[in-house]
Chain A
Amino acid sequence: MFERTKNLRLSIIKQIELKASVFPDAISLAQGVPSFDTPVCVKRRVERALRRGVVAKYSLSPGLPELRELIEIQLEKENMFYDWEKEIIVTAGTIEGITASILAITAPGDEIIIPEPTYTSYREVIYLAGCKPVFVPLNEKKGWAFGLNEYEKAITDRTKAIFFCNPNNPTGTIYSKEQQLGLAGLAKKYNLFIITDEVYKDFVYNNEQIFSLAEIPDLREQVIRIYGFSKAYAMTGWRVGYVHSDEKIIREIVKVHDALVTCAPVISQYAAMGALEMGEGDVENFNKNYKKRRALICARLDNLKNIFSYVYPQSAYYVFPKIKINIKNAWDFSLELLDKTHVAVVPGSAFGNNGEAHIRLSFGRSEEDINTAFDRFDDYFKNA
């Protein structure tokens, strides 16, 4: 009974949010949700589609052709070349793309290597597929970088893929081209897939170049790249993203995608078209705000130097401070913080054992929320 779900757990982030909901003055720095509303241009595109009555029916399973063509155009601008007809699938958010990809490329019992700390739901999807997550710790002292030797040591006969999020959630790390090419070398050597979730790739604060292994033609048959509109375009509720890879792989992933959701919600596909056609300015504007909030949250953390130390986040909207004071564990610390300050944070252990003794704070929230939360922290920790 419940054999498939017995190892799955409900998201710790959702658990914290649920606990926070009992406090009327709660502030959440826990969920990775932008404080902004979806851009007006996206809403207008959807309104037009609704008025024309084109959203009520299924689309083709891989998605609306016009959206996939727009995605190909976008990818071309990012130095990635994929055929919209055969190599791009529009998905119900990134997590559906990840799930469909893992189910397509693995058999039960296979192993997938993931770094830790990393996004909580990867573990659940891997278990759901009947596979085993193998965690490789990131090196905090080196700015949460990959350790290539550790990766190679983790590879076994059952290893099927290396899976990572770039930029990384919760650390905000951008993996360098050299680090990624190192992983690509391992993937070539051991014939592994690389799954790269690049949902935060638009969070560029200082014109950083975020390299993707999907740019390399020679790796097309090994790299599966996933992107979602949720974060950059403030569209978490729309559930729309895409996956792309070589047609040989996409041909298999689309079978799972069709079985799981038939197609991504058509109304959301029109929203994604609006985002790609007209949302560029909104993304730039959001990033300006996030950059300010990053400076703010880091300045406020600097005022609590005796409590926290942290690696300055390069991208995404998270900072992942280490707790310097004596605590039992990050979960209890987060619960106590919530209880005493009514501020929700995510315990680092949610992102893997290597995240223990850390918390994740989101600066996707407004400056006012960040300031109020830290005013409460200041009060709470003043005697610590």
Chain B
Amino acid sequence: MKTFLKILLKYYLKYISKLIIFIHKPIIIVVAGSANKYFVKQEIKNRLLEKDFSVRANPKNFNTEIGMPLAILNLPSGYNCYKKWLPIVYSAFKKIFQANFPKFLVLSLGSSDPGDMKYLLKIIKPEIAVITEITQRYMEGFSDLNGLLNEYVCLVKKLNKKNLLLLNNDNLRIKSLEGDTKAKVITFGFSSDSDCQADIFKKIASGQNIKINFKNKSYNYNIKKFGKHHVYAQMAGLIIQAYVSEKIT
């Protein structure tokens, strides 16, 4: 019974989400990878907000077959409680008619079983995709790393030549995805051959000092967060902010 209701809910949310996307036509930016999705997604959202765009990003880890539609609809999860799901199901329908739908959706995509990515990409058609990291993490439903990599191949193949793909240039597996896509590719990382390159990365008492080189310009940031993964988030944010400012405004 539970499984049946879950399937029903999954497809209900899927088709409502598709309908809403069809009506409102937001620009969809997706963030995929086995690590650092949250921080990259937040940075992209913040950079777009800085430019006064209306943006919605998925809260928490709402990035699965049920979570992602909820993020699109801007609804909470009922988790394991039937009672909590009832008003959500009702609200989902009402969302079709909502005004002021955001111009941008920044969505992280979760993939813990083969085929997850394919399912999510039946709901949304991203215009920009970022692949943050591919490691041994989130191997739960995958027998090996190649199986996981296939999920990202599925994503990059979905992009067309008008779309943009950001690849972490420090990860060889991610780098190899460049050959599988028709989209314009921008690489980012610490490697010297990256299109967007982190030059200085220094820990200071109040956070980190970062220098990023992109399109013959240098950008200096002092951020209050610690860790190399935040440097990647800064680079992804910078690239997308520049791209959107140039192409979309």
A and B physically associate: yes
A70 to B137 Cα, complex, angstroms? 13
Of all chain A residues, the one with the shortest Cβ separation from B226 is A83
A83 to B203 Cα, complex, angstroms? 11
Give which listed residue, B35, B38, B80, B224, contacts A44 with CB less than 8 A: B80
Assess whether B61 is in contact with A65, with CB atoms less than 8 Å apart.
no
Assess whether B227 is in contact with A83, with CB atoms less than 8 Å apart.
yes
A66 to B80 Cα, complex, angstroms? 22
Contact with A along B35-75 (1 / 0, CB 8 A): 11010000000000000000000001100000000000000
Q: How many residues in B have their beta carbons less than 8 Å from beta carbons of A?
A: 23
* Chain B interface main SS type: loop
User: Top 4 nearest A-B pairs by Cβ distance?
Assistant: A83-B227, A83-B226, A217-B206, A40-B80
Give which listed residue, A54, A70, A87, A217, contacts B207 with CB less than 8 A: A217
Assess whether B79 is in contact with A278, with CB atoms less than 8 Å apart.
yes
Residues of B within 8 A of A41 (CB): 79-80
Give which listed residue, B60, B77, B140, B205, contacts A217 with CB less than 8 A: B205
Q: How many residues in A have their beta carbons less than 8 Å from beta carbons of B?
A: 27
Interface residues of A in 269-289 (CB under 8 A from B): 277-278, 281
Given contact pairs A52-B140, A72-B227, A85-B228, a sample of 8 additional A-B residue pairs in the complex whose CB atoms are under 8 Å apart: A40-B80, A41-B79, A54-B140, A65-B135, A81-B226, A83-B228, A247-B226, A278-B77
Residues of A within 8 A of B139 (CB): 54
| Chain A residues close to B by CB (< 8 Å) | 40-41, 44, 49, 52, 54, 65-66, 69-70, 72-73, 76, 81-87, 217-218, 220, 247, 277-278, 281
Assess whether B138 is in contact with A66, with CB atoms less than 8 Å apart.
yes
Assess whether A85 is in contact with B61, with CB atoms less than 8 Å apart.
no
Assess whether B226 is in contact with A82, with CB atoms less than 8 Å apart.
yes
Give which listed residue, B35, B79, B80, B205, contacts A65 with CB less than 8 A: B35
Interface residues of B in 151-205 (CB under 8 A from A): 205
Interface residues of B in 190-249 (CB under 8 A from A): 205-207, 224-229
Residues of A within 8 A of B228 (CB): 83, 85
